[in-house]
A = this chain, B = another copy of it.
Amino acid sequence: MTAVDEGAGRQAVIDLLGVLAYAELTAFDRLAEDARLAPTLDGRAALSRMAAAEIAHHERLTARLRELGADADAAMTPFVAALDAFHDGTRASTWLEGLVKAYVGDGLAADFYREVAAFLPQPDRALVEEVLADTGHSDFALREVRAAIAADPKVAGRLALWARRLVGEALTQSQAVIAEHDELADLIITGTGDLAGVGELLTRITTAHSARMRALGLNP
């Protein structure tokens, strides 16, 4: 992996901050919606807090976009369709599905954004790493899902299928996003060095994903 402190063009930085800003806004929306599926007020508050954390991140990113002289709305708009399609295609219908989505889906997305951010110049690299840092909320999802599986092991099979659907949908939409954003694609290719580098990046992401699945008690 090569850090391209000089190479990352302004447009690639704006693209990455833009997609991330919209990802946080839409994650807020979806977590807030899934919070309603909570079986207890305590659980509802926990997921609502996760949502609130995303909005704080969204604010940091749009502030930086404005600092760069970019219009935050304009930077987010190209990514609205793909991210909305992801969420519409993976609408949680139970509390546990929502938690798996929060843990597995957001974890996967965070890993991907973090890999790409490694190719950004500072201070944007640090900003992205900061907004992606786990705020400790994922422990909650982990605990709840593991407890549910312990209480009823049959749940694990259904949730594993659901997680695979999340990954499939995420891959489809991220490929669409990258295909439409040349500067972002260039950034990844240049940053990783070559196609072998892209392969290694995908391996790292897949390995981390499998570890998260196992942590939940799900078959990767």
Chain B min CB distance to A82 (Å)? 15
The residue in chain B whose Cβ has the minimal distance to the Cβ of A35 is B29
8 Å CB interface, A13-38 against B: 22, 25, 28-29, 32-33, 35-36
Q: Name A's interface SS.
A: helix
Instruction: Tell me if A196 counts as interface (CB < 8 A to partner B).
Output: no
Chain B min CB distance to A26 (Å)? 9
How many residues of chain A are within 8 Å of chain B by beta carbon? 27
Q: Report the Cα distance A202→B36, complex, angstroms.
A: 34
The residue in chain B whose Cβ has the minimal distance to the Cβ of A31 is B32
Chain B min CB distance to A115 (Å)? 26
Q: Report the Cα distance A45→B75, complex, angstroms.
A: 14
Q: Report the Cα distance A51→B25, complex, angstroms.
A: 12
Task: Check A48–B58 contact: CB distance below 8 A.
Answer: yes
The answer to whether A25 and B48 touch (CB under 8 A), given A41-B73, A42-B72, A73-B41, is yes
The answer to whether A25 and B52 touch (CB under 8 A), given A32-B32, A32-B33, A33-B32, is no
Chain B residues near A51: list those with CB within 8 A.
28, 32, 51-52, 55
Chain B residues near A73: list those with CB within 8 A.
40-42
A→B interface (CB under 8 Å) = 22, 25, 28-29, 32-33, 35-36, 40-42, 44-45, 48-49, 51-52, 55-56, 58-59, 62, 72-73, 76-77, 80
Additional 20 contacts, C-beta under 8 A, given A41-B72, A41-B76, A42-B73: A25-B41, A25-B48, A28-B51, A29-B35, A29-B36, A29-B48, A32-B32, A32-B51, A41-B80, A45-B55, A45-B58, A45-B59, A45-B62, A48-B55, A49-B55, A49-B59, A51-B51, A51-B52, A51-B55, A52-B52
